[in-house]
Structure 1
Amino acid sequence: MNMDKVNEDLVKERAKCTFNVEELTFFLDGGKDKTLERKERERVMLTKKEELFGGIPDEYLSHKEKYENSIRKAVILFSLLRKIQKENNTDLFNYRNLLSGVLGSSISQDGSPFGLHYIMFMPVFMSQADEEQQAKWLHRAMNCGIIGSYAQTELGHGTFIRGLETTATYDPATEEFVLHSPSLTAYKWWPGGLGNTANYCIVIAQLYSKSECHGIHSFIVQVRDEETHMPLPGIKVGEIGVKMGLNSVNNGFLGFEKVRIPRTNMLMKHAKVLKDGTYVKSKNSKLIYGTMVFVRVVIVFDSVNYLAKAITVSPKQRFSPL
């Protein structure tokens, strides 16, 4: 297939258009500057078109091969993205443009195991971590020194966030939180990249201090050894298996058996626990939901892009009257 040439039938159909295609393109992209930025990004990606778009189609690959192929493509993508960032001084969230939307879904049709690292793991640090925590973790995450995921949904609790069962109980004697999954339904279920890829995770858990529950809060937890990539003691982690779609997202499960983490692993930009266990409440308790709300918006945008592709490639349907 010649990817440098537009199909002749498509050219003919576009010629029949009754509106200004360029104006509509600018509108859909959010402005002329956004369109030019997108086209430049696509141009750079196509310098590696054989590596990114060639080879055996995903439909013919096994579950394991799809995952490995997605990892291979991700390495190429991020090397190209760093080149773009260096040349154009672009911001962090341009990672999302490679992992979702029209470009992302065309490169990795079955999703990417690095999606949550860039779309949720790092944004959580930017919105929930204090300056000291950002200095410690964010730079390593941006350079893939650590690979992260975001674990909120549990096997027994999806959108019912207040019902989450995973607990983080503060022990003032050691200045540590003890993470625990009290039941099977408390296991984190579905986090992208957690199956085999991530070695760190943002965990949403019920915070207990001085025998009082203070609701859900965010904690950074190391789940795998940085050198061997094996699960750490007390960590039960793995992949949930084949799904109907997006299998390369590498969704996983996560359980805790009284795992201890430092007090400073609680993200403390808005709320915090002092050394003696005193809880300092956030001025706005709804801020912890910010990242998830952001991702829900991303999902809506992605759905629009998938629907647009489906409408574009689907044949015209003619229906006979009953």
Structure 2
Amino acid sequence: MPPFIPPLADPSKTVSSLASERNLVSFPVESLTQFLHGENLEPQRRLRTLIEQHPVFSNADKPFLSRERMYVRSLEKAAKLVELRKTFKWSDEEMLIAMHMVGDSTPQFLHEALFIPTLKTQLSDEQQKIWLPRAQNYEIFGCYAQTELAHGSNLRKLETTATFIPETDEFEVDTPTLSSIKWWPGALAQTSNFCAIYCRLILHGKDYGVHPFLLQIRAHETHAPMPGIELGNLGNKIGFNTIDNGFMRVSKVRIPRQQMMMRNSSVTREGQYVPAKNAKMNYSTMVAIRANIVKNAGFALGQALTVAIRYSMVRVQGGDRIPSQKGEELKIIDHGMQRYRLTTSLALSYAMLMTGRVMTELHRRNLENVIQGEVELMAEVHATSSGLKALTSDLSTAQMEDARRACGGHGFAWCGGIVDILTTTLQDVTVE
């Protein structure tokens, strides 16, 4: 804490206020915790204890950091997470839990949650043997390059092309127009050296639609952009400034034919197209992102409400003229409107948590099917995740803003916590 911020005059009063409120709980808190996070809490508590031992994971000074320093700190956190994973042999699930506990997204999240799942669902078995171990060992570090300057949601209108060159058995990747520049991918501007890039497949002059490819964008030895690759940082954003969102212009860059991701669709050496059973299988990663947004909506709202409700239990304001108060001011949680605003939002967060749980399970089943080449659930998952993503992200951020306002002037301060949670989550309304 900066030295110019004085301590509370009587911190014990704050502690006792929270303790008295917690003593009013009418249900076993541990049971609710298990309901939300799983019956076996020991692994999560073990991870939390381990993370709390390392100062690099502290966010105490975050309100005072520049964007550049936030990014560097996120890399330091990512490096420590990788070190801990190797030391303690964490599973993929434990790694994701640890990244969530850190509190800030790091570029590593894009690698773990977007790039690697894309390799698992889009590369053929033979391709996975080559690329997946390298990604899992961080020999290559990747991002997900789909959105362009002019198009995001309307995937059929993406303009980046991958044209087959039969003479050399290569694809030529190109962003032929200003509007086709890849725009917004996280971990693109400075961190990644590979990307999963979505391009229009051009064979013998015919357009076969958008397909995923693997493109090296930086040199292993120097981390400089590869020839024909122009990269840049999009700069300050409302939030999410620990991530280096960027842009990429690709000028007729050649890649081997085998770097088309060929689990679902493929191109033979002769340039013949082998279609997927369902074209939407190429977009399974985007469905995964939407499912994760649904899951996160309830958790993020819950974090903001934790701040707002605790604040409301220790902040006093008004009510001192009520005879029963004997000149003492009321806790603001005891004002009817404050309690109504926060408890209805709390109920909504639980509803979204349960919705996210169902959506996650539906996505998990679909992912298993996609890996096996089955598409029966794809349409349902695509429609459900799209609708719920739009609904839950809007509801979650709207109620976060209401919770922030319910904290009065202190809700306007970054160090209060809600502002950071809100501005970070705001991207979910428009992303993907």
Q: Same fold (TM over 0.5)?
A: yes
Q: Secondary structure at the match of 1:249?
A: coil
Aligned counterparts, 1:178-189, within 5 A: 178-189=172-183
- 3-state SS, counterpart of residue 53 of structure 2: helix
The aligned counterpart of 1:117 is 111
Q: What residue ranges of structure 2 are gaps of 5+ in the alignment?
A: 2-13, 313-331, 339-432
Whole-angstrom distance in 2 between the partners of 1:139 and 1:292? 22
Alignment-derived partner of residue 18 in structure 1: 26
Using a 3 Å threshold, how does the CA distance of structure 1 residues 93 and 290 change in structure 2: closer, same or farther?
Answer: farther
Q: Look up the match of 1:78.
A: 82
% identical aligned pairs: 38
**Residue 159 to residue 94, structure 1, CA distance change in 2 (3 Å):** farther
- Partner residue in 2 for 1:213: 207
CA distance in structure 1 between the partners assigned to 2:169 and 2:123 by the alignment: 18
Within 2, Cα distance between the matches of 1:185 and 1:289? 21
Does the alignment pair 1:99 with 2:109?
A: no
- What is the Cα deviation at residue 46 of structure 1? 1.9
* From 42, 46, 49, the counterpart of 1:40: 46
Deviation, structure 1 residue 124: 0.7
Alpha-carbon deviation of 1:36?
2.5
Deviates more, 1:278-287 or 1:56-65: 56-65
Q: Which residue of 2 aligns with 1:249?
A: 243
Secondary structure of the corresponding residue to residue 76 of structure 1: helix
Aligned counterparts, 1:119-268, within 5 A: 119-268=113-262
Match of 1:65 in 2: 69
Distance 2:195 2:205 in 1: 26
Partners in 2 of 1:32 and 1:8 — Cα distance?
30
Structure with a larger share of its residues in helix: 2
Paired residues of 2:173 and 2:254 also in contact (CA < 8 A): yes
Asked if the contact 2:57/2:102 (under 8 Å) is kept, the reply is no
**Pick aligned residue for 1:269 from 257, 263, 266:** 263
Amino acid at match of 2:71: Y
Secondary structure of the corresponding residue to residue 223 of structure 2: coil
The answer for unaligned runs of 5 or more in structure 1 is none
Task: Report how far residue 8 of structure 1 moved.
Answer: 5.0
Please state how far the C-alpha of 1:81 moved relative to its aligned partner. 2.4
CA positional deviation for 1:145:
0.8
Give the match for residue 327 of structure 2. none
Aligned residue in 1 for 2:320: none
- In the TM superposition, what whole-angstrom CA distance separates every residue of 1:208-262 from its partner, at most 9, and x where no partner exists? 1122111111101000111111111111112111101011111111111111110
CA distance in 2, matches of 1:135, 1:77: 25
The code of the aligned residue for 1:242 comes to N
| Deviation digits for residues 99-129 of structure 1 (CA, Å, limit 9, x no counterpart) | 33xx132xx2xx2122110101111111111
Q: Bigger radius of gyration, 1 or 2?
A: 2
Q: Which has the higher strand share?
A: 1
Runs of 4+ with deviation above 6 angstroms: none
C-alpha displacement at 1:312, in angstroms?
A: 0.7
| 1:299 lines up with 2:293 in the alignment | yes
Question: Which string of whole-angstrom CA distances, capped at 9 and with x for unpartnered residues, describes residues 177-211 of structure 1?
Answer: 11111211111111111110001000011111122
- Quick check: 1:114–1:249 contact (8 Å CA) kept in 2? no
Letter in 1 for 2:39: K
3-state SS of paired residue (1:159)? coil
Alignment RMSD: 1.9
Instruction: Find the aligned partners of 1:172 and 1:127 in 2 and give their Cα distance.
Output: 27
Given that residues 48 and 98 in structure 2 are in contact (C-alpha distance below 8 angstroms), is that contact kept between their aligned partners in structure 1? Answer: no
**Would you say how many aligned residue pairs link Structure 1 and Structure 2?**
302
Letter in 2 for 1:130: S
**Secondary structure in 2 aligned to 1:32?**
coil
Aligned residue for 1:247, secondary structure, equals coil
**CA distance in 2: counterparts of 1:40 and 1:7, whole angstroms:** 26
1:159 CA drift (Å): 0.9
